[in-house]
Structure 1
């Protein structure tokens, strides 16, 4: 590296001493042209023109056409180039064999004609590319790097702004009314999402997210897993020649993070490396809990009161390296290896009062105690991937082969010490330790075969495996020996192996001039083998799932579209649901997993209408109906007394996950984007749905409820380098099988200043600045119990972010396609 720096310095000195001598390498050329509509001859503004060295897939420069349709490239090295021209609503044009040399240093392409895009199912974009949200035929894309208020936060701060997504105060994500979501990073799965989604999303800095793709009704090509749909988080990655990247640092009163992203590309080979870290500083959450429970046998009732607080911290770290290599003009490979580590820790104290009353109201007994609790979770994961792509002479014909893996180790601990008052003597205590291994791996093949003009057949297959090895060891305080002894009843082992064999076929075709269609089917064979030590039982079973998918789309003119689709989604329980680890850190409120959970299946219908107002914004409305069988929900069972091994627990509620029954959701979602003028933009999303749950576990405890959510975002571009934004959201109180869960309101203010020719920026963000806490009240009930809990969660925060981008940036096209532009384009 030192030799390289000395060489550059020597070159500069020699150039200064001999300024009259020009090296052949210093001679460059110029390419220019003008874009016009092939039908009207009107100039075309804001088209993206990307320049490639012929035979490569890596861009070397990019330009945008001005109000007169003109574009130009300055200082172009001698060589043979291909220019790819993209504009929403027009067919992509390729101009090949653009030669810049000594004889022709200035190349004028003159008039380049673009023809309007014919309607195709796979490439309809309602919103213009420069907009924050793009609504495509089968997914919605949120361009996160254009957002202001998210820059100092984490991935969940971006998600809460996207239509049909809601995020609660704890960071739990819900899509289209379901928390069961298939999360991907750069299109690939990871075990880290299965263990603790909240921690993972909180560990990804928002400024490292390029865009987020939301697919509420995935087609046959996608895995059926994820009843809410698919959320694909795409991290920033630049494909331009040379070295580029960014550095970002955020400090705040609650969240702090930092990240480095580096891209290097020369010719047909590219390399990317990244590193980011995130920490949530320690915050104190006051809590209170009251439960009234009835013992019908003893004819008594118990009042349980708990008041306390808990200190909570979280951290995350991720790093990775990836490369891509263009073997030939039609084929290339890419590979990567990521490492992730994250965790959280909570420590608290609870003042507890337990009063047992007779039926006449008199107090039978009263016990006061103090509980000191602690919980922690850590995980690290290695995620390798390898991918091969090959395209053919026909641009629609493609082959892709991929292998992905994710191999994780995690550790969960939970401690509790209960002291009787006023003697302050230890009467109960536990030490729980739960290490586990979690592995996920898959091999997939996808192939697209054109059958006719605008008729394509996609076929493919996938094998995926999911393995869990979990050991839970529990120690319980023994008063006789004054020590913690191993408890075999609370300790257990779980070995779980799941294999899924899948194949799909998907046909895209027009139905005359009426509509475009994409119809497919996916077959999945799931084989499960599990062993639960405490039950001393091996479960070996398999089941078949056939998933149809239908997508219909009709364009009305160039700006409006109507879409209809139907598919089936499935939720296979993951490690967090199945883990039989019994958490007795609060012996009055015990939690555990359920190894006997069965998959839930959802039928999903959706219809939508979109209208693009061009410069004035856009509008989208969706109607949906979704029904599940074997719906999985958290479920509480109250026990006056329950014995686990040698330990007898009294007045305890056990929370686990169960297949509740049938759930039906019907509702609508509206999205509005208004460009009031060149500086002021307004966006809003409103979602409403009616939920009906048929409780088949506790017959007679069916539930209904109206759920609504909305957010509004206003951004104002004060100058070209200075902008401000306000965002607010509200999630209503909602009803589930066993009670009411709290509403949530949040708001944020942000300003961002660009400098250093827009390569540097400073952003200041404030969240919920007028209130330190967000109060969360939950009311739950079931046979023989009624409870009310209140958490006061610290949410008020201020953060400041600094970001520096270096090198050439913002190249969007990853490779030229062999499209057939208008013949007059040359």
Structure 2
């Protein structure tokens, strides 16, 4: 009875409080008269409205906000249900210091007050961001990153993430979809600050499965601080998907139909009180694309008595069909003002089918044979998985004082089945490759603003990767040629393999941020990581293969100093150290003989790459024009590259010289570079943007790699981008852009150059809730050519590939729902695994990205 009595008293008290709150408006008791405070927030320089700026209301002289709203697309705001009294208003916007207006007074006789235009000046230091244009910023420069706002870009509609990344400053994407930053592919790609199992399977293929319409922005972090994982020598690319902070129900549908690629995307958002739910469905499908390749390979034996022993010359046509889907569900709940929980489940699935035929010419000088034969190739690759993360954040009463505990499980799988059949010479072969990757992560982060001048960040983390690769190869014992029955093939136990690979990383970090004065700020930190690796061949391994284990410690310091030169100029000096761990693709010691004349093998004794970068950055802006210039030096030791050499192998009972590529720590590389980004409005409707990044490749081979290295000079490479956007008025916008990436050198040859241009136009209507657009890629050129070569003392190899790129497409989008914007929640930290050398196939040695891209 006593407990029930207490319960009823508590229930009565709660209802009394609710009833009291219902009777008195914002501001306290007294009269029931309530009113409104309204106004408009504008940029003090450009006089343009600030869209979605935060407006907070306090009691006059108070420090705790009572409530707040966001400005609309015209900069207007309204604070309703305001009791007469004296208040303080705070106006904040990313890249702008908070402006305070105190007091703002309403009375019983005049409860409604319009304070008119509130001018907010941009931050001279640009500690948060510097907008490229006031009305519609496409590229932003922040203290630790460059941000590309993809939702502002009309020419990527109907495409995929690869199309977006081709336009991001400092980033380049080759014909196979491989991504690099400042020419370095050793990057980590994240989605909303977290790793994805899809990226572990194949980064290039996973990026093609994400529709461009799902992406809000792309962040490029070239000098990560110690709070980021040490992995990724070139830095981090973080893809931010569209997430809105609203109450009510809303959604959108978008997509594109084209001559090469079709995309669709739909999302729905629900938010009420402290609960929000977001669902997103997206996918794409490409029409069959046929590429044509001329391949030439001349293998020489160093023995002077037979200086040349094999020549392969063939022409191939390969038709590829791709598909992909990326779906997600996110749940966020604010328990109260100090505690928040959130969870996200992301599912991905994709793949591609390849059908090819080839005409081959082979001359064997040892056996004095000259053979011409045909080949038929079929392969099917599928990849997919899920990411499930959960975060808990606790905030203390002191603003910015909080800790976060996060966990994530990422699962991915890749399957690659292929069948090679030849009319003569080459052995027919069938392969089945199944790879599994499970990654478990737990981390904790703590932030403490010690004072206005000093902030402390610290945390710990554990990453546990469990990978396996089951690779079975079957050979044709009948010599059935092009009509061979693959069901009659028998298992090749020597070349088949089953391999397990475990990697555990334990890390801790501490970062200090100092605001030394109005002109100087300092960010410094130290990170420690311990890595433990175990590899084990299963079953009957190839001769000489044994289990291996290794572990190593890494200390990662970071330092950034920023100085304000004037109201519009900032200079920044930074130092960062990064490592690049080799993963299963580089470590698996089994010989991959899927292409008998061009084999590949991993190296379990590989050590991680270690790179150190010093960068000087200068940024200035005048009204809507921005210039950002960086010069940098990067030294990489333990450089990991594949070295091709000539070896003798047995084919059909005969000894033949073939090439075998082994991953090795080939030496070091010294790279000087400079990057430039600029944006200018020569007149109001026209905006011109451009970026150039030039850098050197100057390898210094060491050890056994010296005899195989042919590119030992200093080579200059670059990637460049130029765009022009014109606003015709009446919600019609047109844009054109062109991309140029030079060939990328390696220690034995080069990878292909890449260039393309795109034109697009978009019309918005129904109060900008809907749009129709038209895009075209390479309208006057059907194919692009890509040339690649490798040259060693015993090998001369080249390939010339023509890939279809010309396309025409229509895009559409429609947004629906009646919503009310609320104060945006602070971005949760969550899991953030920034590691593994890009290009890893994670679950196995099979798979591949194929060729093609675009729309």
Partners of 2:413 and 2:547 in 1: how far apart? 24
2:351 maps to 343
Question: Residues 45-69 of structure 1: CA distance to partner in whole angstroms, max 9, x if unpaired?
Answer: 5364446899999986533666xxx
Deviation at 1:570, TM superposition (A): 1.0
Per-residue deviation, residues 370-419 of structure 1 (Å, max 9, x unmatched): 22222332122121011122222221322122111201222122321121
1:16 alignment partner in structure 2: none
Aligned counterpart, 1:164: 170
Pair 1:191–1:47, CA change in 2 (3 A): closer
Instruction: Tell me the residue number matched to 1:4.
Output: none
Query: Of 486, 495, 505, which aligns to 1:490?
Result: 495
Q: Which residue in the other structure is 1:769 paired with?
A: 779
- Cross-structure match for 2:415: 411
In the alignment, structure 1 residue 699 sits paired with structure 2 residue 706: yes
C-alpha distance in 2 between matches for 1:471 and 1:457: 46
Distance in 2 of aligned mates of 1:57 and 1:694 = 62
- 475-484 or 378-387, which moves further after superposition? 475-484
The aligned counterpart of 2:464 is 465
CA displacement at 1:108 relative to structure 2: 1.8
1:299 to 302, 306, 316: 306
Find the aligned partners of 1:106 and 1:546 in 2 and give their Cα distance. Answer: 61
The alpha carbon displacement at 1:96 in A equals 12
1:332-367, Cα deviation, whole Å (9 max, x unpaired): 111111111111222211111111347xxxx92212
Q: Tell me if 1:550 matches 2:563.
A: no
For residues 592-625 of structure 1, what are the alpha-carbon distances to aligned partners after superposition, in whole Å with 9 as ceiling and x for unaligned? 444443211111111110001123x100110011
Determine the structure 1 residue equivalent to 2:661: 655
2:723 to 684, 708, 713: 713
Residue 735 of structure 1: CA displacement? 2.2
Counterpart Cα distance in 2 of 1:77 and 1:84: 18
1:500 corresponds to 2:499? no
SS at match of 1:681: strand
What residue number does 2:18 align with? none
| Residue-by-residue CA offset, 1:604-659 (whole Å, 9 max, x unaligned) | 111110001123x10011001111111112332222x3149x97663422234332
Local SS of the residue matching 1:157: helix
Which residue number corresponds to residue 377 of structure 1? 381
> For 1:489-530, what per-residue CA distance to the aligned partner results, in whole angstroms no more than 9, with x for missing partners?
111111111111100011111345552100100000111111
Q: CA deviation at 1:458?
A: 0.8
Whether the aligned pair in 1 keeps the contact of 2:69 and 2:822 (CA below 8 Å) is: no
Q: 1:546-571: per-residue Cα shift (whole Å, max 9, x none)?
A: 00000010012221100110111111
Higher relative contact order (CA 8 A, sep 6+): 2
User: Unpaired runs of 5+ in structure 2?
Assistant: 1-24, 26-32, 59-63, 828-855
What CA distance in whole angstroms lies between the structure 2 residues aligned with 1:97 and 1:437? 62
Matches within 5 A, 1:423-822: 428-479=427-478, 483-512=488-517, 515-533=520-538, 534=541, 535-579=544-588, 583-615=592-624, 617-639=625-647, 641-643=648-650, 650-696=656-702, 697-700=704-707, 701=709, 702-807=712-817, 814-815=824-825
Normalised TM-score (structure 1): 0.87
CA distance in structure 2 between the partners assigned to 1:100 and 1:366 by the alignment: 97
What's 2:13 paired with? none
Q: How many residues align?
A: 772
Q: Please provide the CA RMSD for this pair.
A: 3.3
How has the CA–CA distance of structure 1 residues 233 and 811 changed in structure 2, closer, same or farther, with 3 Å as cutoff?
farther
Please give the secondary structure, in 2, of the residue aligned with 1:537: coil
Match of 2:403 in 1: 399
Which residue of 1 is the match for residue 260 of structure 2?
254
Give unpaired runs (5+ residues) of structure 1: 1-23, 421-425, 818-826
Distance 1:791 1:816, change over 3 A: closer
Kindly report which structure 2 residues correspond to 1:218-237, keeping only aligned pairs within 5 A, or say none.
Answer: 218-237=224-243
Task: Report the Cα offset of residue 757 of structure 1.
Answer: 0.9
Normalized per residue, the structure richer in strand is 1
Distance 2:474 2:88 in 1: 69
Maintained 8 Å contact 2:495/2:593: no
SS of the aligned residue for 1:145 comes to helix
- CA separation of 1:592 and 1:433: change in aligned 2, threshold 3 A: farther
1:32 Cα deviation after fit = 0.7
- Find the counterpart in structure 2 of residue 17 from structure 1: none
Is the CA contact (8 Å cut-off) linking 2:232 and 2:579 kept in structure 1? yes
Residues 746 and 79 of structure 1, relative CA distance in 2, 3 Å threshold: farther
8 Å Cα contact 1:738-1:781 kept in structure 2 = yes
